[in-house]
Amino acid sequence: MTGNNFTHQLKVYTQLLLDEESNWGERRESLQQIHRLFAECGAMDMLQTDNATDREAVWLEGGYAVSPYSAGMCLFEIVRTRLFVLGLINAITDLLQLQKERPIQVLDAGCGPYALLSLLASLYFTKEEVQFHLLDIHRSNMQSAGKLIESLELSDRFDSYLVADACTFQWHRQKDLNIVIAETMLNGLRKEPQVALTLHLAPQLCTNGIFIPEKISVDCRWHDSTGQQRKLEEMNELGDNSIPDYSLFEEQLCNVLTLTKDSVKDYFLQSPVAKALIPLHHTSQKDQIRLYTTINVYKQYIMHHHDSSLTAPITISQPNKNPLQPGTTIDFWYAIENMPEIKWKAYS
Ligand SMILES: C[S@@+](CC[C@H](N)C(=O)[O-])C[C@H]1O[C@@H](n2cnc3c(N)ncnc32)[C@H](O)[C@@H]1O
């Protein structure tokens, strides 16, 4: 196949992934085909690689930069990949409508071995409309992404390939930086450097620039697991496969952290950054206190806790693990450097 044929195929698979009407199985299949096509184009194949450097992660001051292998595996997080690509396409489209200056400059911070988010979005624009700048700490990611982009004959849309730490990187170009996209996070904003990276890169955006994701919130909620289990069993008996309204089984106790492009470091250094009071009805043997992560990727593209590993709830209290009595207060604070994570202390 030639580069053009590969690109045509990639667009067909991407279209299926992004289509409102496609189902979960079709989206999964489209990502498997995209991965196969990337490998055929000479990119790192994370299902085959036995190269030791592809398995090497690195600890940086802002947090943990996953290995090229793990970054490649993110492709298969269906909802994540789909919503981040849709968010990026929509953000570029919005800026093209709002401003005259072209091309839109996009920095893909932590692009991984496929520059996945930029690459799929690039299929929908011309080189006159958008230029992507790829940045990753792993040189092998950049080599893999470069090879892939060349094979797909999309090099005209990719301006730079930068091997650097995103938490110290400076945008020195004459042109305004319009969009930064970064997915360097785990649930509860732990371990990976999303907070440090956002605090460092967002101020480098031009006025009205867009940071993707727009907002990440971590909330502490009481969870009625008995009620939820009962509802799921009822739905199962009725053959109802839809997703229940999980919010019916949750009660907001406090917002622990919110990260946006306007966030400042001092907010994360507060001690405590938030407080929660365990409700008096927290008495059932199955009740839990959990941290819920919500990712507002861009506008209507939002990831909730049942959507991916990035938003999976973290249980901080249940009867057989850190049981907390009704009326207990929990103080939260955030460790921002080296090993980022939310920490907490409970007292009555
Ligand atoms: C979870 S992967 C996501 C890869 C890709 N953006 C995607 O969405 O499929 C995170 C990527 O960020 C890179 N990364 C993490 N911390 C970084 C840092 N401080 N500077 C540059 N790259 C970083 C990792 O090497 C990895 O490739």
Q: What is the pLDDT of residues 83-132, one digit of tens each?
A: 999 999 999 999 999 999 999 999 999 999 999 999 999 999 999 999 99
CA of residue 272 relative to chain centroid, distance: 26
Distance 135 CA to ligand 1 centre (A): 8
The C-alpha torsion from 107 through 112 and 114 to 118, rounded to 10°, is -20
The vertex-96 CA angle with 101 and 12, nearest 5°, equals 130
Peptide bond into 326 cis (omega under 30): no
Closest atom of ligand 1 to CA, residue 165: 20
pLDDT reported for residue 14: 98
Report the pLDDT value the prediction gives residue 50, as an integer from 0 to 100: 79
Q: Closest Cα to atom 11, ligand 1: which residue? A: 110
DSSP letters, 31-65, are HHHHHHHHHHTT---TTT---GGGG--EEETTEEE
Q: How far is the centre of ligand 1, averaged over its atoms, from the C-alpha of 258 (Å)?
A: 21
Using the atom order of ligand 1, give the atom closest to the CA of residue 141.
27
The values of phi and psi at residue 39, to 5°, are -65, -40
Q: What is the pLDDT of residues 333-342, one digit of tens each?
A: 999 987 999 9
Q: How far is the CA of 194 from the centre of ligand 1 (A)?
A: 9
Indicate if the pLDDT at residue 274 is higher than 90: yes
66 lines ligand 1 (CB under 6 A): yes
Say yes or no: CB of residue 183 within 6 Å of ligand 1: yes
pLDDT of residue 317: 87
User: Quick one: which atom of ligand 1 is closest to the CA of 81?
Assistant: 8
Cα 229 to ligand 1 centroid, rounded to whole Å: 36
C-beta of 72 in contact with ligand 1 (< 6 A): no
Name the residue at shortest CA distance from atom 25 of ligand 1: 65
**Full DSSP string of 242-295:** SPP-GGGGEEEEEEEEEEETT--HHHHH-SSSEEEE--TTTTSTT-EEEEEEEE
**Mean pLDDT within 35-53:** 90
Query: Which of the pair, 266 or 226, is modelled with greater confidence?
Result: 266
Closest CA to 111 of 149, 141, 131, 73: 141
- Token pair in block for residue 231: 């509802």
Average pLDDT over residues 166-185: 96
The rounded distance, in Å, linking the Cα atoms of 188 and 305 is 11
Query: Above 80 in pLDDT, residue 169?
Result: yes
pTM assigned to the model = 0.96
Angle of helix 3-18 relative to helix 78-98, nearest 10 degrees?
100
Q: Are the CB atoms for 45 and 114 separated by under 8 Å?
A: no
The per-residue pLDDT for range 314-334, each reduced to its tens digit, is 999 887 777 888 999 999 999
- CA 113 to ligand 1 centroid distance, Å: 9
Distance, in Å, from the CA atom of 200 to the CA atom of 130, rounded to the nearest integer, reads 23
Pocket flag, ligand 1, residue 110 (CB < 6 Å):
yes
